[in-house]
Chains A and B, each alone.
Chain A
Amino acid sequence: MSGKNNVTSFQKVLVANRGEIALRILRTLKEMNIKSVAVYSEADRNSLHVRMADEAVCIGPASSSQSYLNIDAIVTAATITGADAVHPGYGFLSENAEFAAAVAKAGLTFIGPSAETISMLGVKSTARKIAVKAGVAVTPGSDGVVGANYHAAARKIGFPLMIKAALGGGGKGMRACLKEEDLDRMFKTAQAEARANFGDDRMYFEKLVLNPRHIEVQVAADNYGNVVAFAERDCSLQRRHQKLVEESPSPFVDSKTRLQLQEAACKVVKAAKYGGLGTVEFLMAPTKEFYFMEVNTRLQVEHPVTEEVCGHDLVKLQIQLAQGEVLPFSQKEAAAIKCHAIEHRINAEDSERNFAPCPGTVSEWTPAGGLGVRVDSHMYTGYAIPTYYDSLIAKLIVTAPDRARLLARSRRCLSEFLVEGIKTTLPFHQKIVVNSDFVSGNTDTGLIERMLKQEKENESQS
């Protein structure tokens, strides 16, 4: 690690978030002996983050748009409390370039990449171009709009492929085409749909990766060109693109692929001149070929999985990098696999009734405990969950020396975790950890939907 360092230590940091992630950040600030400021909406007056911070400021009414998404109110709160940096957490304004710029304009440090980097990587096509330039594979596509010779373009990419409308969105003008015989018919219906919905019938192709896994790599970069990548997280267990379970290392990735993933992630980060903590997401085919998807320019919900595996506090690292410090450890240390870890996202949702949100008052809160167990949560007995925000109530993070012992521990934790007064996704997690495909590591992004479909079929039969 080399480079001139220009370090400014933060005295006071404002946490522009709520819930478990606000607590998570406050804990690290306390350990680093940095004063903290919490912000809260009127609906969060009784929240733990308000109690745990050194200072707390009410920034607006319950609705997020007027409180946790209110750039002016948050920057004002940071200025009048004398904070010298703002940590955005995840969600809300964490990937909002305008917010990062407003924080910087007020003379404060935004704990994250620069506004320019956020807006550059936020545009998918720009991020894709950066990856291509860095020599990282992206899902093969038609490189722009296809014309009358679309057959040749399709053959070049290979089947199966996705037919997409250039101005598309929301699944309109989109078709999955499995073989060339279907191409003409599918292309024409997709094009007609695009014309009807967007008044534009320009189409393009993208390779369709069947049964893909969602594999992501945590990265960290300092201001002096040093970059490290951590062991990958497997986030294939998703329902409607919402991650439910994340684990690290992935049971599917071998050590050779792991190195390739880390190398690819570092290349993208270096090419983007990225600074701070981030995540590079890949789509992995059953052949272990992987394609760049996007870069998340913030701390992620599932960061504890990596913290457990590598043994480093990632929030602390994020703060150190924002203070201008040199990366405090080497690639070898970052990539160390000290244990196997899994995270179960517990939401206030009724998994028996199509995951309907289930806010209410928690009449009993007795989380799992014991060896290898970490619960990141803002719940307490008697807490009334407001209806305005995200339904995540806890992250159960379990660690063990290997995957077999990890799953045994996960099963034990999920069975002893007691939440009364509201419905949660705990029963669904109990089903996941005994699912034979999951246990054998045979997971892809469609597994949860298949599990739910199977359940429905079983119900209708009985």
Chain B
Amino acid sequence: MDTKLVKEVTDWLKTTDLAEFCYGKDGDSIEIKTREALPEPAQFESSLVSVCSPAVGIYHAAEKGKTLSLVQGQAVAQAAPLGWVETVGKKHKVTAPCAGKLQAIAVQEGAVVEFGLPLFFIEP
């Protein structure tokens, strides 16, 4: 097998939009498949654990009259309180799903949050 040709074809394929390329020789056969029109969703791996909003509402770090200061890089224990999401009729607790380091704080006091919005990222 001509490995040089294989490398050349592979390199060339990388410069095109083609997903698959078949090539015959004596039987004269070429088969080409293009990529799907829709791009694949971005896949990435992260070691961080996200803490998502449990409800649509307004985020408060602490109850009225109290303070809870969260600092990026601080250590948190499992189930440590990370604030509240307040709805019309309820208060939904936000807690750390695991122990670790609070690597990112993506929410500010008084912010409007949707259900499922990442509020914090913890590195276990």
Contact = CB atoms under 8 A, between A and B. Distances in A.
B88 A57 contact: no
B61 interface: no
Contacts of A106: 88
B92 to A, nearest CB: 10
Nearest to B116: A58
B114 A76 contact: no
Interface in A376-413: 382
Interface string A80-107: 1000000000000000000000100010
A80 B115 contact: no
B7 interface: no
A69 to B, nearest CB: 14
Contact of B88 (A61, A67, A72): A72
Given A102-B88, A106-B88, A76 B116 contact: no
Chain A, interface size: which category? 10 to 19
Nearest to A71: B89
Interface stretch (B11-19, B50-58, B64-72): B50-58
Interface in A314-356: none
Contacts of B117: 58
B78 interface: no
A86 to B, nearest CB: 12
Contacts, number: 45
Interface in A154-175: none
Interface in B80-117: 87-90, 112, 114-117
B116 A80 contact: no
B37 to A, nearest CB: 9
A80 B58 contact: yes
A58 B116 CA distance: 8
Given A57-B56, A77-B56, A80-B56, A72 B115 contact: no
A211 to B, nearest CB: 49
A445 B38 CA distance: 46
Interface in A34-89: 42, 57-61, 67, 72-73, 75-77, 79-80
Shortest beta-carbon contacts, A-B, top 4: A76-B87, A58-B114, A72-B89, A75-B88
Interface of A: 42, 57-61, 67, 72-73, 75-77, 79-80, 102, 106, 382
25 contacts: A57-B56, A58-B56, A58-B114, A58-B115, A58-B117, A59-B56, A59-B114, A59-B115, A60-B56, A72-B87, A72-B89, A72-B90, A73-B56, A75-B87, A75-B88, A75-B89, A76-B55, A76-B56, A76-B57, A77-B56, A79-B88, A80-B58, A102-B89, A106-B88, A382-B38
Given A72-B90, A75-B88, A76-B55, 6 more contacts: A57-B56, A57-B114, A59-B56, A72-B89, A76-B88, A102-B89
